[in-house]
Copies of this chain bind each other. A is one copy, B any other.
């Protein structure tokens, strides 16, 4: 049945799937890459952890639905966050109750933007290290795997990682964030020289005292174009 031939076809008389948006929320807490999960209270998968999400309302776009879910769970507003559509999961049997198609998003939130409730350890909301995850409801392990892959990929060729830091930060803190997410050590000198070339940060007048020499504070330049040419397979 083609959409193009459907004037005489009244779709409303047929079964329609439910559509939800689920948001994989990442943040850096306690020097670990963590993800926000919610404990289910009801069948199915009762008492298991799940990615926050909910039904898309008839009058809101998918992005709006995702922002709404994100705000409900973390208290962050649109401008404070990086949100990107990830993938749409639609296996017929992924939810035993009914056909549910889930448009998954992933979000990067700076720890200092989280509201107290989301940052606290309520029994039904918890931040888990991505290296120490509990069993997850539905196919949410698949969604989380996918989100983590995309986050790492994104970080390697864009400046999205800045969304995980407070507005002012030192270069060491920035490098730490990258190392935590990518799971590798980076060279200090090379990290900084490349950063200088790409013009994505600007130095501020302030300093932050550390164990040794105080570190200059920087901030992200809003107008910076922070995408790098990819190395191509074929020239």
Instruction: Please report A residues at the B interface, Cβ cutoff 8 Å.
Output: 1-8, 11-12, 14-20, 22, 38-43, 50, 52-56, 58-62, 69, 72, 85, 87-92, 98-101, 103, 153, 155-159, 178, 186-187, 190-191, 194-195, 198, 226-235
Q: Give 14 A-B contacts (CB < 8 Å), ordered by A residue.
A: A2-B38, A2-B72, A3-B50, A3-B54, A4-B53, A7-B42, A14-B55, A90-B103, A155-B233, A178-B234, A194-B233, A194-B235, A227-B233, A230-B231
Q: How far is the CA of A69 from the CA of B230 in the complex (A)?
A: 33
Q: Of residues A55, A157, A187, which shows the largest number of chain B Cβ atoms within 10 Å of its Cβ? A: A55
B92 adjacent to A42 (CB under 8 Å): no
Known contacts A16-B17, A16-B19, A190-B235; is-contact A4 B50 (Cβ 8 Å): yes
* A103 partner residues in chain B, CB cutoff 8 A: 88, 90, 101
Q: How far is the CA of A2 from the CA of B191 in the complex (A)?
A: 42
Number of copies: 2
Known contacts A62-B88, A198-B233, A228-B233; is-contact A55 B3 (Cβ 8 Å): yes
Known contacts A58-B92, A186-B235; is-contact A11 B18 (Cβ 8 Å): yes
Q: How far is the CA of A6 from the CA of B137 in the complex (A)?
A: 14
In the complex, which of the residues B55, B59, B158 contacts A1, with contact meaning CB atoms closer than 8 Å?
Answer: B55
A54 adjacent to B1 (CB under 8 Å): yes
* A234 partner residues in chain B, CB cutoff 8 A: 155-156, 178, 186, 191, 194-195
Q: Of residues A17, A38, A52, which shows the largest number of chain B Cβ atoms within 10 Å of its Cβ? A: A17
A7 adjacent to B62 (CB under 8 Å): no
Min CB gap A92→B, angstroms: 5
A230 adjacent to B230 (CB under 8 Å): yes
* A15 partner residues in chain B, CB cutoff 8 A: 58
Q: How far is the CA of A90 from the CA of B85 in the complex (A)?
A: 12
* A11 partner residues in chain B, CB cutoff 8 A: 18, 55, 98
A101 adjacent to B3 (CB under 8 Å): no
Min CB gap A21→B, angstroms: 9
Min CB gap A105→B, angstroms: 10
A52 adjacent to B2 (CB under 8 Å): yes
* A8 partner residues in chain B, CB cutoff 8 A: 42
Q: How far is the CA of A56 from the CA of B89 in the complex (A)?
A: 13
